[in-house]
Structure 1
């Protein structure tokens, strides 16, 4: 439990407390926040979270092992969105350009585009990537903007604990045991799912293709990103926030009638599971930036109760923020 000690920070202790992992309680911290923190700390898995509330009366927040890198699944797609919009700002890309949706980019877990073949406007591709976590849309966007460009943005943002895949299909190929740099293509993905090809599973957390980040990194990303820190034009920030507000994970954890921007992520792979929700809510003009991540080993039947328990804790924490500010 040493990594799960209570951290509720005042403005003066926020940065120092996060580095030391010391237990500090802000004066007047809402009871709901402490209760939600205890719920998270009691979960029998690998838990990491960070909450930072930039209240003008004094910043405060909480966390558990915020610097611990964990698997975050589709939460990485925020970087793809931002990199694409920056390409639009620079005149290299267009939101109206038609992007190919076909077997050359088709990937698993694509609820919007699975049965589509043709083209879609880039704007619709980016919306499908965030709103529905469509992996085919993600790979179409990444092929256009370039994984190297997305990684360069991650580096520019100073996110030292964050790693992204070359594409979701390359990730699935690597996890299935394919050699480094191999894309098993769409036929290979179908054969893998149908059990027609031998699979030597690699762990989701690995040194090859993976999706890793820390709560501290994702909070450090969303705080400036949602205030325009990585864009040069106000309209780009507006588009970034518009699309990030479409993520279904935000409606699951944000208080009612509260602006929320972010992205969730999950995976079920060879007994390993991940849930992540990262982003920001805004209450009366006060931003509260957060990342909640849970990694655990368990059978498929463990996913529903694990998800429910995490959602209860996340909703409780963000509701406590709303009540204190509102």
Structure 2
């Protein structure tokens, strides 16, 4: 559960060299300019894959994977049209802006200095629909409102008395938020460390219990890992195995107790019991969703019994490998984590207030490791914290941003569509534009 295209698509088969010193005049090589100008044709497939990308790139990014990212981009932005800008970093590396029918994409291209000068690295770092290219915040809000399904958005200035609204659309409506739920677990860790009950260097010993996919799934029982590392992986790369380990270590009951403390107004109790990721996958996938149907019919006590019984006993192998692969939303109104945009602003405000000073440095480092928005937009701010989440039919992006002048702003946007997969590239572009426009 993670947001595609939020900070870059997986089209990077080679790290870019460091930028040249600013004092040095850098000119694009003819090969770099030629490849950059042909990028639109390469994306549409008018240039054969093996005649544009180097073998090292093709080995890391098979053509089928490239097509998936391409289809996601073109689904939201239309066909690529032309190279609109090229900023040279070295003779063979440049940042670019590529025009599409309905928007633009920015990224970086790396060309092999050796003949035949094929592309060894390509990274898309952000995309933006043209409807927002010259928009005000309100125009972005209206574009979000027009998306099919249910949407919510809130932007607020954070002051001593709480969030002060700047722009909003259905900000009080609870929606599924995907992996953004991990902010609640982070909040409990912040509370526990502030209270002296936990330390960032405290170690957790893996017990061999089943885990969802992630960096700790194959680790043997007895492996020790710090709370800091688990939190960093949970927030920065949305590692599901780290999340479930941390949820167990901190305690489900304590995480649930944090919901009202940090400002999540859950009148219908849909976040209790508070699910781990593997539990959610089992409820959605085992036996065609049979466990999910039991979950929907049960009260809180019955749901707890279900988690402790049939869900815990179901093997990981019972989750179909094809789960989520067809792009169809699965029980996003019942087996999920829920919050309104206003809820998420309150969560970020709580994290802001409870990480002030040197004692909060660890938590802020965790929260800001992945800024969630394109580097050019993040650079407009003095500091950016982020968590997002997605699955078929669900996307959320939630940001905490400090202006270079010192003021704080929070922003959250969600889009749910139980009928179809959502256009992640379009939504990410809108949130990126809002973050850029909100900067002082």
Give the TM-score normalised by the residue count of structure 1. 0.74
Aligned counterpart, 1:313 = 430
Aligned counterpart, 1:262 = 386
Aligned counterpart, 1:170 = 279
Within 5 Å, which residues of 2 pair with 1:217-256? 217-228=343-354, 234-247=357-370, 249-251=372-374, 254-256=377-379
Q: Does 1:211 align with 2:314?
A: no
Secondary structure at 2:320's aligned position in 1? helix
Q: Deviation string for 1:14-65 (max 9, x for gaps)? A: xxxxxxxxxxxxxxxx952122122212212211010013489xx5511110
Superposed displacement of residue 254, structure 1: 4.5
Aligned counterpart, 2:144 = 40
Q: Does 1:293 align with 2:414?
A: yes
Aligned counterpart, 1:6 = none
Aligned counterpart, 1:52 = 156
Secondary structure at 2:144's aligned position in 1? helix
**Contact in 2 for aligned 1:49/1:290 (Cα 8 Å):** yes
Superposed displacement of residue 95, structure 1: 2.0
Aligned counterpart, 1:140 = 245
Within 5 Å, which residues of 2 pair with 1:164-203? 165-176=274-285, 177-178=290-291, 180-181=306-307, 182=309, 184=311, 188-194=315-321, 203=331
Aligned counterpart, 1:67 = 172
**Contact in 1 for aligned 2:371/2:384 (Cα 8 Å):** no
Indicate the larger mover: 279-288 or 248-257.
248-257
Taking only aligned residues, the RMSD between alpha carbons, in angstroms, comes to 3.0
Query: How many residue pairs align between the two structures?
Result: 274
Aligned counterpart, 2:199 = 94
Aligned counterpart, 1:27 = none
In structure 1, distance between residues paired with 2:322 and 2:311? 14
Larger radius of gyration: 2
Superposed displacement of residue 282, structure 1: 1.5
Task: Note the residue ranges of structure 2 that are not aligned, 5 or more in a row.
Answer: 1-133, 295-305, 324-328
Q: Deviation string for 1:270-320 (max 9, x for gaps)? A: xxx111011211222121111100111355xx45xx111111111111111
Aligned mate of 2:395, from 275, 291, 299 = 275
Q: Deviation string for 1:218-261 (max 9, x for gaps)? A: 11221232122xx6x73342222111112353457943352211
**Contact in 2 for aligned 1:132/1:248 (Cα 8 Å):** no
Secondary structure at 1:220's aligned position in 2? helix
Residues 213 and 123 of structure 1, relative CA distance in 2, 3 Å threshold:
same
Q: Does 1:154 align with 2:259?
A: yes
Aligned mate of 2:209, from 78, 100, 104 = 104
In structure 2, distance between residues paired with 1:75 and 1:61? 22
Residues 140 and 274 of structure 1, relative CA distance in 2, 3 Å threshold:
same
**Contact in 2 for aligned 1:103/1:186 (Cα 8 Å):** no
**Contact in 1 for aligned 2:243/2:277 (Cα 8 Å):** yes
Residues 119 and 41 of structure 1, relative CA distance in 2, 3 Å threshold:
same
In structure 2, distance between residues paired with 1:167 and 1:253? 34
**Contact in 2 for aligned 1:70/1:295 (Cα 8 Å):** yes
**Contact in 2 for aligned 1:73/1:275 (Cα 8 Å):** yes
Q: Deviation string for 1:90-109 (max 9, x for gaps)? A: 3332322222346414114x
